[in-house]
Amino acid sequence: MCGIVAYIGHREAYPILIKGLHRLEYRGYDSAGIALIDDNEINVYKTKGKVRDLEHFTESKNINGKIGIAHTRWATHGEPNNANAHPHYSETASLALVHNGIIENYTLLKKALQEHGYNFKSDTDTEVLVQLIEYIKTSNNCSLFEAVQSALKQVIGAYAIAVIDKNNKEEIVAARKSSPLVVGLGKEEYFVASDVTPIIEYTNKVVYLNDEEVVLLRPKEQINIVNLNNTITKVDVKSLNMSISQLEKGGYPHFMLKEINEQPKTIIDCIRGRINVEATNVILSGVIDHKDKILNAGRIIIVACGTSWHAALIGKHLIEEFCKIPVEVEYASEFRYRNPVINKGDLMIAISQSGETADTLAAVQLGKEKGAFIYGICNVVGSSIPRATHTGTYIHVGPEIGVASTKAFTGQVTVLTMLAMTIAKEKKSIAKERFLSILKSLKSLPELMEEVLMLDERIKDLSKIFTYAHNFLYLGRGYNYPLALEGALKLKEISYIHAEGYPAAEMKHGPIALIDNEMPTFVIATTDSIYEKTVSNIQEIKARGGKVIALVTKGDKIVSSMADFSLEIPDVDECLSPVVACIPLQLFAYHIAINKGRNVDQPRNLAKSVTVE
Ligand code: G6P
| pLDDT value of residue 333 | 94
Taking the centre of ligand 1 as the mean of its atom positions, its distance from the CA of residue 609, in whole angstroms, is 6
Ligand 1 pocket member 333 (CB < 6 A): no
User: Does 606 sit in the ligand 1 pocket, CB within 6 Å?
Assistant: yes
pLDDT reading at 276 higher than 90: no
Using pLDDT thresholds of 50, 70 and 90, give the confidence band for residue 150.
very high
Cβ distance 522 to 549 under 8 Å?
yes
Q: Three-state DSSP class for 556?
A: coil
Mean pLDDT of 189-196: 96
pLDDT attached to residue 288: 93
Residue 27 in contact with ligand 1 by CB distance below 6 A = no
Pairing of strands 391-394, 373-378: parallel
Mean pLDDT throughout 332-355? 93
pLDDT above 80: residue 612: no
| Residues written for the chain | 613
Residue 366 CA to ligand 1 centre (angstroms): 20
For residues 25 and 3, give the distance between their C-alpha atoms in angstroms, rounded to a whole number.
Answer: 8
Residue 532 is predicted with a pLDDT of 81
- Does ligand 1 come within 6 angstroms of the Cβ of 31? no
Q: How far apart are CA 156 and CA 354, in angstroms?
A: 24
Cα 413 to ligand 1 centre (Å):
15
Q: Is the CB of 405 under 6 A from ligand 1?
A: yes
| Contacts for 146 with CB less than 8 Å, ≥ 6 apart | 137, 140
| pLDDT over threshold 90, residue 88 | yes
User: pLDDT category, 280, cuts 50, 70, 90?
Assistant: confident
Q: Which atom of ligand 1 is nearest to the CA of 493?
A: 8
Question: Which is nearest to 592 in space by CA: 445, 492, 517?
Answer: 492
Neighbours of 370 (CB within 10 A): 15
**pLDDT tops 90 at residue 80:** no
Q: With a cut of 90, say whether residue 244 has pLDDT above it.
A: no
Express each pLDDT in 128-147 by its tens digit.
999 999 999 999 999 999 99
Give the residue with greater pLDDT, 608 vs 71.
71
Query: What is the Å distance from ligand 1's center to 403 Cα?
Result: 8
Residue 177 pairs with which residues in a beta bridge? Answer: 159
| Stretch 254-267: mean pLDDT | 96
Read off the pLDDT band of 240 (50, 70, 90).
confident
Mutate to test the pocket of ligand 1, among 378, 608, 613 (most ligand atoms within 8 A of CB): 608
Ligand 1 centre distance from Cα of residue 305 (Å): 6
> Which protein residue has the closest C-alpha to ligand 1 atom 2?
608
Catalytic, 305? Answer no
Residue 524 has pLDDT above 90, yes or no: yes
pLDDT at res. 595 = 98
Ligand 1 centre distance from Cα of residue 554 (Å): 32
Report how far ligand 1's centroid is from the alpha carbon of 395 (Å). 15
Of 115, 119, 78, which is closest to residue 99 (Cα–Cα)?
A: 78
Between 337 and 132, name the one with better pLDDT: 132
Within 13 Å of residue 68, how many CA atoms lie on the same side as its CB? 30
For the chain, count helices (H), then strands (E): 20, 26
Q: Tell me: the pLDDT tens digits for 290-334?
A: 999 999 999 999 999 999 999 999 999 999 999 999 999 999 999
pLDDT over 90 at 553, yes or no? yes
Confidence at residue 613, expressed as pLDDT on a 0 to 100 scale: 75
Mean pLDDT of 338-363: 94
Q: Is the CB of 453 under 6 A from ligand 1?
A: no
Q: What is the DSSP string of 265-284?
A: HHHHHHHTTTEETTTTEE--
306 lines ligand 1 (CB under 6 A): yes
pLDDT band at 213 (very low <50, low <70, confident <90, very high): very high
Q: Which of 441, 435, 433, 432 is nearest to 413 (CA)?
A: 441
The per-residue pLDDT for 34 is 98
Ligand 1, atom 4, residue with closest C-alpha: 306
| Residue 403 beta carbon below 6 angstroms from any ligand 1 atom | yes
Q: For 585-610, what is the mean pLDDT?
A: 93
CB 384 near ligand 1, within 6 Å: no
Nearest CA to ligand 1 atom 7: 306
CA pair distance 165, 163, nearest whole angstrom: 7
Q: What is the pLDDT of residues 40-73, one digit of tens each?
A: 999 999 999 999 999 999 999 999 999 999 999 9
pLDDT of 512 higher than 90: no
Determine the atom of ligand 1 nearest the C-alpha atom of 360: 15
Q: Inform me whether the pLDDT recorded for 457 exceeds 80.
A: yes
Domains observed in the chain = 3-244 (3.60.20.10), 249-452 (3.40.50.10490), 456-595 (3.40.50.10490)
Residues 6+ apart with CB under 8 A from 138: none
pTM of the model: 0.83
* Residue 95 confidence class, pLDDT cut points 50, 70, 90: very high
Q: Which of 2, 270, 575, 582 is an active site residue?
A: 2
Q: Is the CB of 490 under 6 A from ligand 1?
A: no
pLDDT average, residue stretch 472-498:
97
List the catalytic residue out of 169, 425, 490, 608: 608
Phi, psi of 124 (to 5 degrees): -85, 155
Q: What is the pLDDT of residues 417-443, one digit of tens each?
A: 999 999 999 999 999 999 999 999 999
Q: What pLDDT does residue 511 have?
A: 85
Q: Is the CB of 441 under 6 A from ligand 1?
A: no
354 CA: nearest ligand 1 atom: 14
Active site residue 177: no
Model confidence band, residue 15 (pLDDT cutoffs 50, 70, 90)? very high
Q: Would you place residue 413 in the very low, low, confident or very high pLDDT band (cuts 50, 70, 90)?
A: very high
Q: Is 90 in the pocket of ligand 1 (CB under 6 A)?
A: no
Please give the mean pLDDT across all residues of the chain: 94
CA of 206 to the centre of ligand 1 (A): 24
Please report how many Cα atoms fall inside a 13 Å half-sphere around the Cα of residue 101, on the Cβ side. 28
Mean pLDDT for the stretch of residues 13-21: 98
407 within ligand 1 shell (Cβ under 6 A): no
Residue 580: per-residue pLDDT: 97
Which residue, 298, 395, 389, is CA-closest to 347? 298
Query: What number of other Cβ atoms are within 10 A of residue 212's Cβ?
Result: 18
User: Is the pLDDT reported for residue 188 higher than 90?
Assistant: yes
**Which whole number is the average pLDDT over 382-401?**
93
Ligand 1 binding pocket mutation candidate from 303, 357, 492 (most atoms within 8 A of CB): 357
User: Which residue of 610, 611, 612, 613 sits with most ligand 1 atoms within 8 Å of its CB, as the best mutation to test the pocket?
Assistant: 610
Q: Which amino acid is at 382?
A: G
Q: Does the pLDDT of residue 337 top 80, yes or no?
A: yes
Ligand 1, atom 8: nearest CA belongs to which residue? 608
How far does the centroid of ligand 1 lie from the alpha carbon of residue 405, in Å? 7
Q: What is the pLDDT of residue 530?
A: 79
CA nearest ligand 1 atom 1, residue: 608
- Ligand 1 center to residue 608 CA distance, Å? 6
CA-to-CA distance for 319 and 528, rounded, in angstroms? 18
- Among 532, 528, 613, 515, residue whose Cα is nearest residue 578: 528
Q: What is the pLDDT of residues 156-184, one digit of tens each?
A: 999 999 999 999 999 999 999 988 999 99
